[in-house]
Amino acid sequence: MATTTKRIRVTELDFTEIKNNLKSYLKAQPKFADYNFEGSAINTLLDVLAYNTHYSAVYSNMVANEMFLDSAVKRDSIVSLAKHLGYTPRSSTAPTAVINVTINSPAGSPATLTMPSGTTFSTQVNGTSYSYVTQSDLTIVPSSGVYTFTNVNVKEGTSIRYEYTKDSADFNQRFLIQDDRADTSTLKVSVQNSTTDATTTTFTRAENILDVKDTSEVYFLNAVEDGQYEVTFGDGILGKALSDGNIIVLEYLITNEETSNGAKTFTLSSTVGGTTNATITTVSNSQGGAVRETLDSIKFNAPKYYSSQNRAVTAEDFKVILPKLYGNVDSMQVWGGEDNDPPIYGKVFLSIKPVTGTTLTETTKASITKDILASKTMVSITPEIVDPLYICIMPTINVYWNPNSTTSTGGDIVTKVKDAVTNYYNTEIKNFDSVFRFSKFQKVIDESDVGITSNITTFRIEQHFTAVLNEKYKYTTNFYNPLFTQGAGAPTNLSSTGFYLAGSTNLHFLDDDGAGNVRSYYLEQGTSTRVYTNSQQGSINYTTGQIIVDQLNVTSTVLDNNEVKLYVTPNSNDVVSVRNVLLMINPANVVVNTIVDKVATGESTAGVDYTVSSSHNLSQTGQTTTTSSSISSAGSSSSSSSSSSSSGSSSGSSGSSSGSGY
């Protein structure tokens, strides 16, 4: 009977440990008690045995991991496991643009003019040429002799056509889309009866087997190995079966994915009406191009898609179904009409932050609601897509640091703090359902360098409205967070960038009176004295964050695109993203000041000469007073305070930026 000392240990799978365990086992045998394992040929044999054991253990462990969706790492395994849940990973997505095309002098001035499917347009993005094509035939009747195709959808890519002949004798026959950058949303499947019978039937993709009969002319699409997709057909029970000799035609686009997003100028490359002479105007720049679904996304969405059963009933259902079918979704928020402000029953609201751009075009919104969601939503519920509402957080950070405890310079400190702020934004508040947590924000700043002893951070939040010029107009802006106020007669909170009003040559601004009124004013020439032209230009609700500016007749603004920016200080240092609100931090609006901590360096005795920063946002005073600290290349700090007037803004130190914030 073997003793415990002769048992092989099997808990270690490292090569070295396996070899050591084999040695220990052999040394426990009487025949090898005094054997020199290192200096003999048996050492090589042990290497082989250990290697083989290690190899087998690794392989077995990998196989076990690849059997479960949570632990699988190979794409083929993840795709296969998702297939068991009825989930087909999203393919590459081609960018889409909307254009108007006027054909100049078509041959023969026909009564109707057709732009055929596959008509090609060329464009350039960042010096690289791309081709955009139409996906269907378009026919128009000229209006007053002008041949204009309106709202033409064009997709980027190269048209590919594959033909297969059905052969039941070939048990391994598969109908594959063999390009890993194919956009399956552009796939067209048709079946020709035979080489001698040109009768062709178009098959549609089956999304719900409950609607499929034995005669339904449908196909099924599955993701398979090597990034490919496979088209399958019915068996005569679930979908119409194919016959031997049928010719299967697969047509689709191979796309360059997101690289041509933003294309805005197009030229006709094909012939329409016998001419290439066309005038093209862009309705919406190209957007929506995206790479195929990532492994993490598949692992996250597949189980949720299974639970939704391909029906959009709950908010979570929408969050799973839409990103699967539309690739240009970076973040998404969904809420019912009963949770809207004001409540609108019978609707579900969706807000989408696209991968490219800040908002979706109206054409894209209509396509999503009509082509994607309509068939998956309850009849009594109407989906509506609303644009994200961007609120920009604009911090001013006074960083105290000890040069003696770090190798970083003052400039390095500034860079590290800004990098930390950017990382905080990307990890904490970039998407919907986020909260700007002030204590965490200060913590990441303190931890960005060992030399930082503390920081005093204040911030303002910003929104804007686009002025309707030369017309009295009512503007409603909502921060969806309570705003700071000290009551009537106290320093103001609201500030704005400048604009000109009808009947006046003075540059005007907005502020509040602390009692809920929004006022318009200009600065007296050469002074900082405010001259109010309307003390009831609108209202500000400090509880809800809503600001209304009424009867404002703007003729021009100091910012581009007729924008007027509004700056406020929230009542809480934590800012919440509500419904379609997205919180933003633009690096250009992050102010970092470095101040040497004289207590930490030992330069200050008993706290004398220690530079103190205010923890209150001076912008709320309504004055253009700025407090700043800067550091020289030698590492000494300086502080200054000034009061000035700006021709472009009256927003204070953190609100004077003319950047868009997003």
What pLDDT was estimated at residue 329?
A: 84
- Number of Cβ within 10 Å of residue 469's Cβ equals 15
| Cross-strand pairs, 177 | 229
Which among 213, 227, 215, 155 has a CA at the least distance from the CA of 188?
155
Q: How is 605-625 classified by DSSP, letter by letter?
A: STTTT-----SS-GGGGSS-E
Locus of tokens 């030399």: 451
- Both tokens of 419, joined, read 């990098």
First to last CA, the chain: 76
What pLDDT was estimated at residue 321?
A: 78
Q: Does the pTM exceed 0.85? A: no
Q: What is the DSSP letter of 471?
A: S
Which among 500, 480, 484, 501 has a CA at the least distance from the CA of 492?
484
What pLDDT was estimated at residue 308?
A: 65
Reduced to 3 states (helix: H, G, I; strand: E, B; else coil), residue 4 is helix
Q: How is 323-382 classified by DSSP, letter by letter?
A: HHH-S--SEEEEEEGGGSSS--TTEEEEEEE-SSSSS--HHHHHHIIIIIIGGGB-TT-E
Which among 587, 565, 524, 583 has a CA at the least distance from the CA of 655?
565
Reduced to 3 states (helix: H, G, I; strand: E, B; else coil), residue 455 is strand
Q: How is 384-427 classified by DSSP, letter by letter?
A: EEE--EEEEEEEEEEEEE-GGG-S--HHHHHHHHHHHHHHHIII
Rounded Cα gap, residues 197 and 200, in angstroms: 8
Which among 367, 429, 419 has a CA at the least distance from the CA of 392?
429
| Cross-strand pairs, 454 | 400
CA-based Rg of the chain, rounded to a whole angstrom?
Answer: 33
Distance of CA 514 to the CA centre of its chain: 38
Rounded Cα gap, residues 517 and 532, in angstroms: 12
What pLDDT was estimated at residue 628?
A: 32
pLDDT along the chain (662 residues), means of 10: 47 75 79 71 81 79 84 90 88 93 90 94 94 94 92 94 93 92 94 94 86 90 91 92 95 94 93 92 90 90 75 74 79 85 84 84 84 75 88 94 93 95 92 93 95 94 93 93 85 92 94 93 91 94 94 94 94 92 92 92 77 70 34 34 40 35 32
Backbone angles phi, psi at 542, to 5 degrees: -70, -20
Rounded Cα gap, residues 460 and 589, in angstroms: 10
Q: What is the DSSP letter of 428?
A: I
Which among 630, 634, 635, 639 has a CA at the least distance from the CA of 609?
639
Note the helical H segments in 38-186.
42-65, 75-84
Rounded Cα gap, residues 289 and 182, in angstroms: 12
